[in-house]
Amino acid sequence: MVFIPECEICGREVERLTKIEIEGSIVEVCDRCVSYGKIVEEPVPRQQPSRSLPKPSDVETELVLVEGYGKKIKEAREKLGLSRKEFASKIGEKEGVVKKVEEEKMEPDEKLARKIEKFLKIKLYEKVPIVSGKKREEKKHELTIGDVVVVRTK
Ligand SMILES: [Zn+2]
């Protein structure tokens, strides 16, 4: 059933109706009949714009390396039965780089991390919410009366 709004005064079928007040009662009327009363509500378009709005989320996220990424890489590599050297050559890196990353002495850059993720089928990044208005640790040292240094002029 399609609902077609009709003006309560003239009966005209219209796209939208406006609520007006006539002698204390609310009637929905067409644009032509609004002048019979006092508008109590602005006309609302019947069809909501269908464009999808960006998700209203005030939680921003950032990608960070998972905790224990080195161990994760090492375990996944060993599962595949690869030595560090073999693994390094498979992803086109130096053994030393793999070693450092596995020992978490070096954080892989995104390119390298993605390569490792793809090869070992593991996830090295996780999304964490950015705490809005990060804690301001550094409190501004406000001067109190006692702190005021009197500058003596010679
Ligand atoms: Zn009307």
Domain boundaries, the chain: 1-43, 61-130
Q: How far is the CA of 78 from the centre of ligand 1 (A)?
A: 79
Residues of the chain with pLDDT under 50: 134-139
d(CA 1, ligand 1 centre) in Å: 22
Q: How far is CA 91 from CA 80, 94, 116, in A?
A: 14, 9, 7
pLDDT in tens, 33-60: 999 999 886 655 666 555 555 555 567 8
In angstroms, what is the span from residue 45 Cα to ligand 1's centroid? 17
24 CA distance to ligand 1 middle (Å)? 18
Calculate how far, in angstroms, residue 99's C-alpha sits from the geometric centre of ligand 1: 80
Give the global pTM. 0.48
Q: Domain 61-130 is of which CATH architecture?
A: Orthogonal Bundle (1.10)
* Distance (Å) of CA 72 to CA 52, 65, 77, 105: 39, 11, 8, 14
Ligand 1 center to 80 CA (angstroms): 77
Q: Quick one: 20 exposed, middle or buried, by C-beta within 10 A (0-12, 13-18, 19+)?
A: buried
Strands 60-65 and 38-41: unpaired
The string of pLDDT tens digits covering residues 58-73 is: 678 888 999 999 999 9
